[in-house]
Homo-oligomer: A and B are copies of this chain.
Amino acid sequence: MSNAFIDKLCAHVDLSTADIGLLEAECANARDVPARHDLIREGDPSGPLFVILAGWACRYQILPQGARQITAFLMPGDCCDMHLAKNYIMDHSIATLTDSRVASIPRARFENLIATRPFLTQALWWAQLVDEGVLRAWIVSMGRRSSVERVAHLMCELYVRARNMGLTTGDQLELPLSQLVLGDALGLTPVHVNRVLRRLRLEGIMRPRGGVLVIDDITKLALLAGFDEQYLQRKLKRAA
């Protein structure tokens, strides 16, 4: 049985079979979670560490006036809430976007792994740093890119991340994100997201249809976005 999380870590740090065995054991308790279900809510003390094995999830925050801002998309292989401190209070919520399969590692076990497995620690630290790079890229997008560039950049990010996890087929990618969700991630209204998508479709760059994104001209898309995949620290080790 394949495990997206382990695959991702192994792609960047040479983990011993012992380390891999430990991770496999921790992920054995995976359970199915329906779509639109909160894994953890803002204000909660840090619970177990979640690992997404299948499906999509997102981090989000609700503002006083009710607006929602999504701060990250989580896809298979991603994990969240790697807090060591017992008294860490969640500053955001995490919810599934689709039906998902999620493993949870008890905090005590996780702390034990960090204290005793240096290479595993290195791999997890690495994953954390890449996530941070993605956050910075989002800030750059929201601060200095137009709506079209912003949409294009997000699509590039999701495409490369999905490709790294072997989730793409050619220039296609399963993308179960409604225009409302995209708007909440990009800081745009769903109405405007729709107009941007139409423009990208008419220009023959990409077309989302029925939960699947088809990228017709990845070169044009990357150019438009000013996309530089360096920040994802993509290693070619596992590339096809």
Contact = CB atoms under 8 A, between A and B. Distances in A.
B63 A140 contact: yes
A69 B118 contact: no
Interface residues of A, number: 53
Interface in A65-90: 67-69, 71-72, 82-85, 87-89
A69 B231 CA distance: 15
B69 A143 contact: yes
Contacts of A84: 122, 125-126
Interface stretch (A130-138, A173-181, A191-199, A205-213): A130-138
Contacts of A145: 63
Nearest to A137: B91
Contacts of A115: 118
Contacts of A72: 136
Given A128-B128, A187-B143, A92 B233 contact: no
Output the residue of A121, A143, A187 with the most chain B CB within 10 A. A143
A184 B143 CA distance: 8
Contacts of A87: 235
Contacts of A35: none
Contacts of A108: none
B139 A233 contact: no
A91 B61 contact: no
A144 B64 CA distance: 11
Given A84-B126, A85-B12, A143-B69, A91 B187 contact: no
A143 B91 contact: no
B69 A140 contact: yes
Interface of A: 12-13, 43, 59, 61, 63-64, 67-69, 71-72, 82-85, 87-89, 91-92, 114-115, 118, 121-122, 125-126, 128-129, 131-133, 135-140, 142-145, 184-187, 226, 228, 230-231, 233, 235
24 contacts: A13-B85, A43-B230, A61-B136, A63-B144, A63-B145, A63-B226, A67-B144, A69-B143, A71-B139, A71-B140, A83-B129, A84-B122, A85-B126, A87-B235, A89-B233, A92-B231, A114-B121, A114-B125, A115-B118, A132-B135, A135-B136, A139-B142, A142-B143, A143-B186
